[in-house]
């Protein structure tokens, strides 16, 4: 019958396959990824006017500082300024839809007071406000330069504008870690379910009269669950690569995911052995994983950051040491559990 | 009469007894060891949340970009201040291999890669923030901030005057909203909520440069809602982005995700090793058993929601808005617990429920202060309650109606299979679902009732589609939406027919029966759909997308057209469902194949309606 531990692992994977839950798991991950991408592409990119070049905004400018302001507005690529003599005519033009926004600029007490009116109630509002902010910031710099003699420090020149998409940082620092760690959390949860279910159904007793030790049973369950996460992460890496998000150091990345998967699965198995009721075990598991991951993000070398930096190749030549550290952590936890299992005692 | 009262009193007593039993049994599994472990975990969670709060959030992108800059360069400080940037020696030879951007004598050398462009963009933002911080220290305020901006939002309609302020009055909320692009998506996974909240709170509290006419420092709640800065220096103004909705979503939703876990376990436990049999043979109805088992969890959730609402300064409206979400969470978990074969399967089902409901409540709430779309989510009611805008009865009914009716239908389906032959058998989830539908089919008339009952789910699916497609240009979103709507409605109208032909109508698979059932199902759907006319009260049809989605609900522009169109949807629903019904008489493949022409006809009809009315 071969290695009993492999048999148990195979049985675990077979139930996952027969229940088609692994398909559901992949769908959930895809949904979460699509959902967070939707947020970024659809909404957060609105904060970057560079990514919405298609929109040309027409602005009505009025007030006694309108000449200076109009000069700045006309310099903007995505904006066109129209001068109006009075506030009333500008407002009428706004209501009739001739201009998208109105800027009323007045000089008072050595400053320029600008009242910006943007249309209420649609998505373009966001784009218009962002474009106004950009324009007015430029205007502020121009005005500040004229007053530089009264300033103690001169502002630094800004680095040139680059045609970068806002998705770049998101893809590597949020999306990729998300896709790498979701399978890990799911694997740990599977282990908790698998172990507690053996208790609930009383099948653990049956397994124990078979010529396998408790350690073998735990081994089989841990192996099956721990293998799943890197396999799924590998799939996501391929998909990202296919979609034009190349991932550097894929092997090191998968090793880190595998090590963390072993660590989290071990944690799940330990909790399930200590608290064999699923309600308590799942609660403890989710809180501990939240704590562990939330806690480590405060550290300079947290897993999320490690994955992101590996993927964009922002690691120094010493990165193999870091990967070895993760592997040592995962394997160490696993061997600790193996030594502890006979002592936990599965009497009841 | 008195007999009925007695029966009711007995039933209530049974429910109360089962609820007490469920509470004591659930509390019983928590032994001392588990309790201590749980307490330690919770304390640690609190400590981590507090640490995140104190340090002002976490930087997931720490040192992702490397900038070559000399120690004595004025840009060195910019690089060290920004967590995403790492300072390296200004070595031009290593450009592209070790550094992305090099600064030398105020010139910027950029490697030719996407990463380097992203690095430059981050660097530019960091320099801008650095300048802003420097200017805040200046003594001569009018020279440092020569431009003061007040942002107003105005309606575009010719008869409306200018209305001021779409924001929540948080002067410096802009920084909080603009700079947290990465936090939000992280929060979507349910891991980064406390960090997000920390970042927002710190920013709102730190802002004090509000020197414009509206320069009132944001209150706690104002900062939380962060509806976009409306006055101050140009860098302070921000689009109306309700950052708070996001935080709220997670403050209210996290307890729900924790509570549905034990609830689902408790339901599934009854089904393991025929444990529930004892309760089934007791002289109480399945409804009473389910009600008793659900009550403690519902009470717990409403209690937690009340505490959360009080903590963030919400009133009864907030609780009333979140309670239906809690009920639907429980209802969906109950159905999941009745269908799942093992704990593993249950985990996936509950995770799916969490993900779906969280996005349903969250996506539309992003548009609070922007459009009526936001009202799709009950969270918008919470935001309005906190902002003091007030909530009308129609708005409440619109936001929470689908949740109440949807929960009722879920419980109805679940109770239908709360019987021996379904509880203790192992069948795949889709078959259990068909069984649950069949348990509600007694006569051809039930088919019409089930169609009408599917309306809340259809409504939820369509509203989610609207919210998701809302950001796309109208030319793209309308056709996509029309197809999505047609698909959702056709499936909803015919899936129970498919179930019926595998259950009560198995012996009567003739085409006459198929057509009759199809027409009945279409009729039921048509009648149910009339209820969706409530969308008229909240202004959703004013939007192009709203018109497109609810065109067949008879939300017509003029009375004459409305009369003409009153019967057209009935004919449409009856026809398309009959097509699908013919396919459903045979196997799954032919059912799916028959759905295609049904959806096509439906989408074409919707397109015709939208283009004539639009």
Q: Where are the domains of chain A?
A: 4-42+166-344, 55-146
- Whole-angstrom distance, CA of residue B366 vs CA of residue A42: 11
**C-beta separation of B189 from A178 below 8 A:** yes
Mean per-residue pLDDT over chain A, rounded: 81
Whether the pLDDT of residue A237 is over 60: the answer is: yes
- Strand order from edge to edge, sheet including A57-62: A79-83, A57-62, A101-108, A111-119, B147-154, B231-232
Q: If you count DSSP H runs as helices and E runs as strands, how many of each does chain B have, helices first?
A: 25, 6
A347 pLDDT above the threshold of 50: no
Inter-chain touch A133–B235, beta carbons under 8 Å: yes
Interface-testing mutation among B52, B79, B163, B189, with chain A (most A C-beta atoms within 10 A):
B189
Give, for A101, the enclosing helix (H) or strand (E). strand A101-108
Specify the CATH class of A55-146 in words: alpha beta
Question: Which distant-in-sequence residues (6+ apart) come within 8 Å of B431 by Cβ?
Answer: none
**Residue A304 and residue B60: Cβ atoms within 8 Å?**
yes
Residue length, chain B?
Answer: 614
Residue A167, SS3 per DSSP:
helix
**Contacts of A237-246 spanning 24+ positions with Cβ under 8 A:** A240/A171, A240/A175, A240/A176, A240/A179, A245/A171, A245/A172, A245/A175, A245/A176
Q: How far is B517 from chain A (nearest CA, A)?
A: 32
Closest CA of chain A from B142, distance in Å: 6
Q: Are strands A101-108 and B107-110 parallel, antiparallel or unpaired?
A: unpaired
Identify the band that residue B552 occupies on the pLDDT scale cut at 50, 70 and 90.
Answer: low
Tokens of A250: 């894929």
Report the gap between the CA of A50 and the closest CA in chain B (Å). Answer: 11
Interhelix angle A278-296/B243-271, rounded to 10 degrees, is 150
Please give the average per-residue pLDDT across B413-427, as a whole number: 82
Helix H, strand E, coil C: the string for B587-604 is CHHHHHHHHHHHHHHHHH
Contacts of B589 (CB under 8 A, 6+ apart): none
Of A81-90, B202-211, B271-280, which gets the smallest average pLDDT? B202-211
Q: Which residues of A touch B269 (CB under 8 A)?
A: 200, 278
Query: CB–CB of A127/A49 below 8 Å?
Result: yes
Which of B156, B238, B344 is opposite residue A193, by nearest beta carbon?
A: B344
> Which of the pair, A146 or A256, is modelled with greater confidence?
A256
For the segment B557-610, what is each residue's pLDDT rounded down to a tens digit?
555 555 566 677 788 888 888 888 888 888 888 888 888 999 999 888 888 877
Tell me, yes or no, if the pTM score tops 0.80. no
Look up the ipTM and state it. Answer: 0.83
pLDDT in tens, B125-142: 888 888 888 888 888 877
CB contact under 8 A, A111 and B272: no
Q: Are B331 and B407 in contact (CB under 8 A)?
A: yes
Query: Does B144 contact chain A (CB < 8 Å)?
Result: yes
Nearest to A129 among B29, B123, B237 (CB): B237
The alpha carbon torsion through A283, A203, A221, A231 (nearest 10 deg) reads -90
B84 interaction partners in chain A (CB closer than 8 Å): 169
Query: Is the pLDDT assigned to residue B12 strictly greater than 80?
Result: yes
Q: Helix (H, G, I), strand (E, B), or coil: what is residue B366? A: coil
The β-bridge relationship of strands A101-108 and B65-69 is unpaired
Mean pLDDT, residues A135-159: 83
Nearest CA in chain A to B264: A279
Q: Sorting pLDDT into bands at 50, 70 and 90, what band is B243?
A: low
- CA-wise closest residue to B350 among B265, B248, B250, B457: B265
Give the nearest partner residue to A293 out of B122, B191, B366, using CB atoms: B191
Closest residue to B151, CB basis, from A118, A271, A300: A118
Q: CA nearest B418: which of B397, B439, B393, B389?
A: B439
B371–chain A nearest CA distance, Å: 5
Choose among A259, A289, A292, A279: nearest CA to A193: A279
* For range B138-163, the mean pLDDT: 70
Mean pLDDT score, A83-97 = 86
* Burial class (CB within 10 angstroms; exposed 0-12, middle 13-18, buried 19+) of B478: buried
CA distance B488 to A205: 47
Picking from B427, B368, B398, B382, the residue whose alpha carbon sits closest to that of residue B550 is B398
Q: Looking at the partner chain, which of B146, B158, B239 has a beta carbon nearest the beta carbon of A147?
A: B146
Residue B367 has pLDDT above 50, yes or no: yes
Distance CA B332, CA B414 (A): 9
For the record, the structure tokens of A109 come out as 């007490």
The rounded Cα B538 to chain-centroid distance in angstroms is 19
pLDDT at B558: 54
pLDDT at B244: 58
Residue B109 clears pLDDT 50, i.e. is over it: yes
Q: Are strands B101-104 and B65-69 parallel, antiparallel or unpaired?
A: parallel
Higher pLDDT, A130 or B539: A130
How distant is the alpha carbon of residue B195 from its chain centre?
A: 20
**SS3 of residue B211 by DSSP:** coil
| pLDDT for res A184 | 92
pLDDT of residue B358: 82
Residue A165 pLDDT > 70: no
pLDDT at A164: 65
Q: What secondary structure letter does DSSP report for B389? A: -
* Predicted pLDDT at B172: 34
Work out the angle at residue B60's Cα, subtended by the Cα atoms of residues B54 and B61, and round it to the nearest 5 degrees.
125
Radius of gyration of chain A (CA): 29
Three-state SS at A58: strand
User: Does B61 sit within 8 Å of A153, measured CB to CB?
Assistant: no
Strand partners, B66: B86
CA–CA separation, B407 vs B301, rounded Å?
A: 15
CA distance B249 to A286: 19
**Strand pairing partners for B68?**
B88, B102
B458/B402 Cα distance (integer angstroms): 9
Identify whether the C-beta of residue B368 lies closer than 8 Å to the C-beta of residue B374. yes
SS3 of B509, please? coil
Alpha helices (runs of H) in chain A, residue ranges in sequence order: 4-18, 21-38, 66-75, 87-95, 123-146, 167-170, 176-201, 203-209, 214-242, 250-274, 278-296, 303-311, 319-344
Residue B228 carries which DSSP code?
A: -
Which of B336, B341, B366, B334 shows the shortest CA–CA distance to B352?
B336
pLDDT in the model for residue B574: 86
> Which 3 state secondary structure label does DSSP give B543?
coil
Mean of pLDDT values over B176-202:
32
Q: What does the pLDDT read at residue A43? A: 56
| pLDDT tens profile A204-233 | 777 767 777 788 888 888 999 999 899 989
pLDDT in tens, B39-88: 777 777 777 666 665 655 556 777 888 899 888 888 888 888 888 888 88
């Amino acid at each position: 019958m071969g290695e009993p531990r492999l048999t148990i692992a195979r049985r675990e994977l077979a139930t996952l396959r027969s229940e088609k839950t692994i398909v559901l798991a992949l769908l959930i991950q895809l949904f979460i990824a699509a959902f967070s991408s939707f947020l970024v592409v659809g909404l957060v990119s609105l904060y970057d006017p560079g990514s919405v070049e298609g929109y040309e905004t027409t602005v009505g400018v009025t007030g006694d500082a309108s000449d200076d302001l109009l000069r700045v507005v006309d310099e903007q690529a995505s904006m066109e300024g129209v001068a109006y003599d009075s506030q009333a005519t500008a407002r009428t033009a706004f209501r009739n839809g001739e201009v998208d926004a109105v800027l009323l600029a007045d000089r008072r007490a050595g400053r320029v007071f600008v009242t910006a009116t943007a249309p209420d109630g649609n998505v373009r509002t966001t784009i218009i406000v962002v474009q106004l902010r950009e324009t007015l910031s430029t205007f502020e710099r121009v005005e500040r330069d004229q007053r530089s003699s009264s300033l103690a420090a001169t502002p630094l020149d800004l680095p040139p504008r680059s045609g970068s998409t806002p998705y770049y940082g998101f893809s590597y620092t949020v999306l990729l870690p998300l896709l790498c760690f979701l399978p890990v959390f799911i694997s740990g949860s599977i282990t908790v379910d698998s172990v507690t279910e053996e208790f609930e159904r009383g099948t653990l007793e049956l397994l124990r009269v078979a010529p396998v030790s408790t350690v073998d049973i735990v081994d089989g369950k841990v192996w099956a669950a721990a293998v799943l996460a890197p396999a799924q992460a590998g799939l996501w890496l391929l998909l990202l690569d296919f979609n034009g998000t190349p991932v550097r150091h894929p092997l090191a990345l998968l090793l880190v995911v595998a090590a963390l998967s072993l660590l989290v699965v071990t944690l799940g198995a330990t909790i399930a052995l200590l608290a064999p009721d699923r309600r308590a075990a799942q609660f403890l598991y989710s809180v501990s994983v939240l704590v562990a991951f939330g806690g480590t993000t405060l550290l300079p070398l947290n897993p999320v950051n490690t994955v992101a930096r590996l993927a964009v190749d922002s690691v120094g030549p010493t990165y193999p040491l870091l990967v070895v550290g993760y592997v040592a952590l995962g394997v160490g936890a696993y061997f600790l559990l193996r030594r502890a299992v006979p002592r936990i005692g599965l009497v009841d | 009469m008195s007999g009925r009262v007695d029966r009711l009193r007995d039933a209530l007593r049974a429910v109360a007894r089962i609820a007490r039993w469920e509470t004591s049994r659930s509390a019983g599994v928590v032994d001392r060891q588990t309790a201590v472990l749980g307490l330690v975990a919770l304390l640690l969670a609190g400590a981590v949340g507090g640490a995140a709060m104190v340090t002002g959030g976490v930087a997931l992108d720490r040192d992702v970009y490397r900038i070559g800059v000399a120690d004595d360069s004025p840009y060195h400080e910019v690089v060290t201040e920004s967590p995403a940037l790492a300072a390296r020696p200004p070595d031009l030879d290593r450009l592209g291999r070790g550094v992305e951007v090099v600064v030398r004598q105020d010139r910027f050398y950029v490697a030719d890669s996407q990463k380097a462009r992203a690095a430059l963009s981050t660097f530019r933002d960091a320099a801008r923030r650095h300048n802003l911080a420097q200017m805040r220290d200046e003594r001569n305020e009018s020279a440092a901030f020569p431009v003061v901006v007040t942002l107003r939002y105005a309606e575009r309609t010719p008869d409306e005057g200018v209305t001021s302020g779409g924001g929540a009055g948080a002067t410096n909320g802009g920084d909080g909203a603009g700079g947290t692009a990465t936090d939000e998506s992280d929060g979507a996974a349910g891991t980064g909520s406390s960090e997000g909240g920390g970042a927002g709170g710190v920013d709102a509290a730190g802002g004090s440069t509000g020197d414009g006419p509206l320069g009132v420092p944001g209150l706690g709640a104002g900062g939380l809602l962060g509806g976009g800065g409306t006055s101050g220096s140009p860098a302070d103004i921000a689009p109306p982005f309700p950052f708070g909705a996001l935080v709220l979503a997670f403050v209210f939703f996290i307890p729900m995700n924790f509570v549905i876990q034990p609830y689902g376990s408790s339901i599934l436990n009854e089904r393991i090793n025929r444990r529930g049999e004892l309760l089934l043979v007791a002289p109480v109805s399945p409804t009473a058993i389910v009600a008793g088992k659900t009550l403690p969890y519902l009470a717990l959730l409403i209690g937690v929601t009340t505490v959360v609402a009080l903590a963030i300064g919400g009133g009864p409206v907030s609780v009333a808005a979140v309670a239906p979400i809690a009920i639907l969470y429980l209802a969906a978990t109950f159905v999941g617990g009745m269908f799942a074969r093992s704990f593993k399967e249950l985990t996936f089902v509950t995770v799916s429920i969490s993900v779906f409901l969280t996005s349903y409540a969250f996506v539309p709430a992003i548009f609070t202060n922007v459009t009526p779309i936001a009202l799709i989510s009950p969270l918008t009611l919470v935001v309005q309650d906190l902002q003091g805008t007030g909530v009308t009865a129609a708005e409440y009914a619109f936001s929470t109606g689908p949740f109440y009716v949807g929960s009722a239908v879920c419980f109805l389906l679940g109770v239908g299979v709360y019987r021996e032959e379904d509880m203790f058998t192992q069948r795949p989830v889709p078959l259990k679902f068909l069984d649950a539908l069949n348990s509600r089919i007694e006569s051809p008339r039930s088919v019409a009732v089930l169609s009408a009952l599917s309306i809340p789910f259809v409504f939820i699916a369509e509203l989610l589609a609207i919210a998701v497609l809302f950001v796309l240009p109208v030319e793209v979103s309308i056709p996509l939406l029309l197809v999505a709507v047609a698909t959702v409605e056709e499936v909803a109208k015919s899936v129970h027919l498919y179930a019926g032909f595998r259950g009560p109508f198995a012996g009567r698979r003739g085409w006459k029966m198929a057509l009759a059932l199809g027409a009945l199902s279409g009729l039921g759907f048509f009648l149910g759909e009339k209820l969706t006319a409530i969308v008229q009260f909240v202004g959703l049809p004013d939007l192009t997308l709203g018109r497109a989605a609810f065109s067949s609900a008879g939300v017509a522009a003029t009375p004459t057209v409305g009369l003409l169109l009153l019967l057209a949807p009935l004919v449409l629903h009856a026809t398309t469902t009959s097509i699908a019904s013919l396919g459903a008489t045979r196997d799954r493949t032919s059912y799916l194949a028959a759905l295609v022409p049904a959806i096509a006809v439906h989408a074409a009809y919707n397109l015709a309606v939208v283009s004539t009315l639009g």
